[in-house]
Amino acid sequence: MNIRNYLDSTYLKTPKQAGLEEEENVEIVLKFIHEAIDENFKLIMIRPDMVAMAKEVITKANAVTLIGTVIDFPEGESEVTAKLEEAQRAIDNGADDLDFVCNYKAFKEGEVAIIKEEVLRCTKLGLDNNKTVKWIIEVAALTDKQIIQLSSLIKNVIISNFKEEVYSSVFVKSSTGFFKTEDDVPNGATVRTIIMMLENASPLPIKAAGGVRSYEEAVEMVRLGVRRIGTSGAKAIANGEDSKQEY
C-alpha cells in the first residue's frame, strides 16, 4: 500500500498558536509545502492566507501536489454567506480542496435548516468550480448519536441535490484537530468514530483527520474504508515512524 496517496499533509497553526513570529510561521508552511512535493503526498493542507503562496511554489516546481484549505476554521459558526465568500477567495487563489467546518454547534441546538443550507450552497460552489469539498463535523464535540445523525444529514443533502457522479468529491471529515477535550479524550479520528461515519455517510467518502500518528494506524484507517487522512506528521507516517505531532 502506498500510504502517500492517502495523506493530506497538514499545517494549520497561526503564528500566535505556534508561538512564532509571522515570518517564522511562513517558513514552516514553506517547509511543509516543499516536503509534500518531495514526498509525493496527495495534498498540502494549509490556511487560506497561504494558498496563493503554495500555488506559486507548486507551479514553479512543476509538481502535481494538490492544495487544500480550511473554511470557517475552526469554529464553523459563520453565516453561510461568509463561508461562501471565504471559499470563493480560496478558489480564486488556487485551492483544489475546500474543507468547510460544519456549524456543529447549531446542529447540536437542533438548527437543522442551517446545516442543510450551508451544505447545499457551499458544496454547490465547490463542485461548480471542480473542487473537492469536505465537511468537518468535529466528532469530539458530538455524542455517538449526533455523529450518526450529522453524517446522515450531510449525506442526504448531497444525494437529494446532486448527481451520483459527484458523490466521490464530497467528503465527511472527522475533526479540525483544534477542539479542546477534557481528560485527554481523543479529539480526532478513532476507529469507533470512523466506523460510525463510514456506516452513515456512505456513499460519500470519509477523511480521517486528527489522531492518526503511525503508519500502522494509517493503514488501519484505509482498510476500514477511509479515502483520505489528515495529519501534521505525514513524513513520519510515510516512513514507518510514529509521529510526535499533535494532529
**Integer Cα distance of 88 and 208 in angstroms:** 25
Q: What is the 3-state secondary structure (H, E, C) of the chain?
A: CCHHHHEEEECCCCHHHHCCCHHHHHHHHHHHHHHHHHCCCCEEEECHHHHHHHHHHHHHCCCCCEEEEEECCCCCCCCHHHHHHHHHHHHHHCCCEEEEECCHHHHHCCCHHHHHHHHHHHHHHHHHCCCEEEEECCHHHCCHHHHHHHHHHHHHHHHHHCCHHHHHHEEEECCCCCCCCCCCCCCCCCHHHHHHHHHHHCCCCEEEECCCCCHHHHHHHHHHCCCEEEECCHHHHHCCCCCCCCC
Instruction: Using CB atoms within 10 Å of the CB of residue 109, give its burial: 0 to 12 exposed, 13 to 18 middle, 19+ buried.
Output: exposed
- Amino acid at site 180: K
List, by residue number, the catalytic residues: 99, 173, 207
Peptide bond into 48 cis (omega under 30): no
Q: How many CB atoms lie within 10 A of CB 178?
A: 18
